[in-house]
Homo-oligomer: A and B are copies of this chain.
Amino acid sequence: MSSKIFISAREVADRAGVSRSAVSRTFTPGASVSDETRRRVLEAAEELGYHVNHLARGLMRNESGIVCLIVSDVATPYRSALLRELTLQLQNSGKVAMLINTDRSDGSVDRALRQAIRYRADASVILSGLPDKSITQLCLRNGQRLVLINRDDDQPGPLRINLDDYESAGRIATAFLRAGCRRLAFANSEAGTPSLMGRERGFVAAAASMGMDVVVERHGQTGYEAGKVLAQRMLTRSERPDAVFCATDLLACGFMDAARHQFGISIPNQLCVAGFDDIEQASWSSYELTTFAQPVASIAAKAVEWLSMTQLEDSAAEVPSIRLRAELVWRNSIRGG
């Protein structure tokens, strides 16, 4: 191990001929230092290659500047887009992101949260899975803030950012109907997360209110392959659907590919398709998918804004909760438009 030897404030102080505190103050925004002292400190720091030790600073200030991002399937288009937004905006507000990858097991989110506690993260943002109640309590008790994105959990404390999944799904149902579709279907995954189920229920309910049934199939996770499987199942039915709402864009891409290449179905002529997320691929010429856009930038902005609030107005003892609207992006996978 090439022993790490970092420059400390002590050495900078010696070189600049000032006290340690002067150095500290120079690097503390808003502290009172004379221009002359600051200049000399800065000069010495530059020459020596000094950088404030945030481990020590965090220890003292009781504030690490670290925000922990807890997420599974980072490589997925929607997740990575959200991750990008989050890290970028976090950086802009002077924080730094620690990334923890979870798998689908329940315990893995708990483990991630524990890691966040060990590093004394100022906050954790959970994009996947749901932690055990006892762990979230532990975080909150320790004064760590928690943000839950698209995870319907109703314990008080964490900031919850959700979309209007249910209502969105209703809007797409009427769009299908307007396009003349009569045999509706919903392609879902088995994951059964609240947002996914919200879309399913919203779609089914809206269809019912217009007097229509919906064929629902669930399979696998929310990926491309699952979409293909769902297409195989649904398109071999005696009553083939003429409109399908896929719970995610990835499912929709798989569904469309199978429909076209395995069944020779023309979209949107013979089959209308809609998705959810508005991943980049949805706009590719091979798909031109009509879908709901996850407002990733707004989600990140809301999260970071809340994390940057110095005072949590506990006057508002009511649970903070934000509901964002997913805008319908109209492309070419539904007739009419």
Contact A101 B91 (CB under 8 A): yes
User: Is A133's CB within 8 Å of the partner chain B?
Assistant: no
User: Is A156's CB within 8 Å of the partner chain B?
Assistant: no
Q: Within the assembled complex, what's the spacing in Å between the Cα atoms of A287 and B79?
A: 23
| Given A53-B59, A120-B6, A96 and B115 contact (CB-CB distance below 8 Å) | yes
Count A interface residues, CB 8 Å: 72
Contact B83 A74 (CB under 8 A): yes
Q: Specify the main secondary structure of chain A where it touches its partner.
A: mixed
Contact A49 B100 (CB under 8 A): no
User: Is A56's CB within 8 Å of the partner chain B?
Assistant: yes
Contact A55 B144 (CB under 8 A): no
Q: Which residue of B lies closest to A89 (CB)?
A: B101
Stretch at the interface among A9-17, A31-39, A135-143, A199-207: A135-143
Contact B83 A53 (CB under 8 A): no
User: Is A99's CB within 8 Å of the partner chain B?
Assistant: yes
Count identical subunits in the complex: 2
Contact A59 B62 (CB under 8 A): no
User: Is A1's CB within 8 Å of the partner chain B?
Assistant: yes
Interface centre among A66, A122, A254 (most CB of B within 10 A): A66
Q: Within 8 Å CB of A311, what residues of B?
A: 1
Select which of B96, B142, B258, B314 is within 8 A of A100 by beta carbon: B96
User: Is A312's CB within 8 Å of the partner chain B?
Assistant: yes
User: Is A21's CB within 8 Å of the partner chain B?
Assistant: no
Contact A261 B281 (CB under 8 A): no
Q: Within 8 Å CB of A287, what residues of B?
A: 286
Contact A98 B100 (CB under 8 A): no
User: Is A75's CB within 8 Å of the partner chain B?
Assistant: yes
Q: Within the assembled complex, what's the spacing in Å between the Cα atoms of A97 and B74?
A: 13
Q: Within 8 Å CB of A253, what residues of B?
A: 284
Select which of B55, B62, B63 is within 8 A of A64 by beta carbon: B55
Sample (28) of A-B pairs whose CB atoms are under 8 Å apart:
A1-B310, A2-B312, A3-B143, A4-B142, A4-B143, A6-B117, A6-B142, A7-B142, A49-B141, A51-B117, A53-B118, A53-B120, A54-B119, A56-B59, A66-B98, A66-B119, A74-B83, A74-B84, A75-B81, A75-B84, A84-B101, A88-B101, A96-B115, A98-B99, A224-B280, A258-B285, A281-B281, A286-B286
Q: Using a CB–CB distance below 8 Å, which chain A residues touch chain B? A: 1-7, 49, 51-56, 58-59, 62-64, 66, 69, 73-77, 79-81, 83-84, 87-88, 91, 96-101, 114-115, 117-120, 122, 138, 141-145, 224, 228, 253-254, 257-258, 260-262, 280-281, 284-287, 310-312, 314
